[in-house]
Structure 1
Amino acid sequence: MTDQQAPAPSCPSSPDVWSSVDALWTWLDGDRPHGGREGLLLRILKLSEEVGEVAQAVIGVTGQNPRKGVTHTWEDVQGELCDVVITALVALRTLTPDAREVFTRHLERVTARSLGASAPPARRT
């Protein structure tokens, strides 16, 4: 774990991220046992499962469970956080084919609200 400033990521706006999200969405939609509203709700609920795995990894990296001890690494936590992001983007894609634009607009609003005048200008891709 580090407190260093990470370089500005190119994702999730980069085309490779969104093409991967579309490919995952297509794959999942092609083989889902529940469709319609139920399928949509289950896809969104999958986020809760993934967030639970983040919590499990954090508990494991800190050795918080005395019965189990240290069972995870910070790299495990990073991977689980990535799973949350991927699952959220696929769920957003399930709600709208315009997921990229919806996400970009929302990120711009959150950035402007949070950083105000110090917010970096949005990149258009």
Structure 2
Amino acid sequence: MDHTITVAIIKGLSIVTAAAVPSIITYIVSSKYFKKRDYRKLESQYLIALKDIEYLLEVERIHCRRNMEMLDQSHRHNSRKAVEIETQLSWSGKNSQKRVYLKRAKLEEKLNETKPS
């Protein structure tokens, strides 16, 4: 075999090996890592968090309704502002009562579908 052909074959194999080795290692590591994760447990914890958010929003709604009955003002805005000032926590608005309800319903449906028989 000619020397240039041998060099070309070695270069070609080097390029293929250089591309294949990281891909294979990534696949092996990720498959081992992701098999260990319990997604069902994470989804259950997420469902609990959604229920807690929904509960706290309902507590706020009832509290504001009582304020409205007693004081003719709900004081929702003032209460949220006080929380922001005192705790540096802020309301993103991404978890409104309706959004949380829809997320929870979708997740519960998914968990019921994947429940082992």
Using the size of structure 2 for normalisation, the TM-score is: 0.37
Larger radius of gyration: 2
Using the size of structure 1 for normalisation, the TM-score is: 0.35
